[in-house]
């Protein structure tokens, strides 16, 4: 890819990540949430891949780790519900007491992130998982495209 594309992609990369993170973190307050935000963040990975920025190759292992981390975190918060007194799997153990205990106000709200109990945390877990998962798929697709013998078109600088 040309220098222009590479430069713009490198500039947009952090912006994509920040916007995706915003959607993930406000998942319990605004439309969107873990999946949508994670998908936005994964477009950042897609940008690097398509533009063929060398940095992209170094990230692959991290996405595998993020995928496992996200899944683990999600299941951890589901299991936390079992630990609460008379709780159940997926029970919102952080709700109605402590720092995360506030419920989200209906209608326009002040945007406090520390509300909704485990839901905010589970959004975060899903966001991490989706970022990892979609990026892993994108890298697998790149490998498949390479396998077809057209490695030059990729131009990923490896």
Partner 1 sequence: MIAFLQLHAPALAVALPLAAAILLLALGNHAKRLAGFLFLAGLLSGACFAWATALRVIATGTPVDYVFGAPAGAGPLDNPAGIALRIAFRVDALGALCLLPAALLSCLAGHYSCASERVTTGGAFFRPLFLLLSAGVYGMLSTGDLFNFFVFLEITSLSGAALAAYRVDGGLATEAGFKYAALSSLATMAYLLGAALLIAQYDALNLRVLAQALNSHAPTALDTMAMVCLLSALLLKCGAFPLHQWVPDVYSRAPGGVSAFLLVSSQASLYALFRFAFALFPQFARLNGALLLLAGAFSMFVGVTAALAQHDVKRLISHHAVSQTGYMLLGAGAGLWWTAGAAGEGTLATDALASGLFHMVNYALYNSLLFLAAGAVIAATKRRDLDELGGLGHRMPVTAACFGLGAIAIAGLPPLSGFASKWGLYVTSFRLSPFWAVVAMAVGLMTLASFVKVFHSVFLGPQKEEFASVEEAPKAMTFPLVVLAVLTVLIGLFPGWTFDRLLGPAAAVLTGGAQ
By CB under 8 A, name the binding residues for partner 1. Answer: 64-65, 67-69, 71-72, 75, 78-79, 81-82, 86-92
Q: DSSP secondary structure string, 21-77?
A: HHHHHTTTTSS--HHHHHHHHHHHHHHHHHHT-THHHHHHHHHHHHHHHHHHHHHHH
Nearer to partner 1, 91 or 100 (CB): 91
Contact 138/46 with Cβ under 8 angstroms? yes
> Minimum CB separation from partner 1 for residue 20, in Å?
22
| Nearest distance, CB of residue 26 and partner 1, angstroms | 22
Give the number of other CB atoms < 10 A from CB of residue 31.
8
Min separation Cβ 80 and partner 1, Å:
12
Contact in structure between 95 and 101 (CB atoms under 8 Å): yes
- Residue 14 or 72: the one with the smaller Cβ distance to partner 1 is 72
> Closest separation between CB of residue 68 and partner 1, Å?
4
Of residues 8 and 78, the one with the C-beta less far from partner 1: 78
Instruction: Decide whether 108 or 149 has the Cβ nearer to partner 1.
Output: 149
* 9 contacts 50 by C-beta, under 8 angstroms: yes
């Amino acid at each position: 890819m040309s220098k222009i594309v590479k430069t713009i992609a490198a500039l947009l990369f952090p912006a994509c990540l920040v916007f995706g993170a915003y959607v993930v973190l406000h998942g319990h307050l605004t439309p969107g949430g873990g999946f949508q935000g994670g998908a936005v963040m994964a477009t950042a990975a897609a940008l690097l891949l398509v533009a063929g920025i060398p940095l992209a190759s170094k990230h692959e292992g991290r996405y595998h780790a993020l995928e496992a981390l996200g899944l683990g975190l999600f299941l951890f918060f589901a299991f936390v519900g079992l630990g609460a007194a008379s709780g159940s799997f997926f029970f919102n153990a952080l709700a109605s007491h402590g720092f995360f205990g506030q419920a989200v106000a209906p209608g326009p709200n002040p945007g406090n992130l520390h509300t909704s109990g485990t839901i905010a945390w589970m959004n975060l877990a899903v966001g991490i998982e989706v970022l990892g998962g979609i990026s892993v798929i994108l890298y697998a697709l790149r490998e498949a495209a390479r396998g077809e013998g057209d490695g030059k078109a990729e131009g990923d600088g490896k």
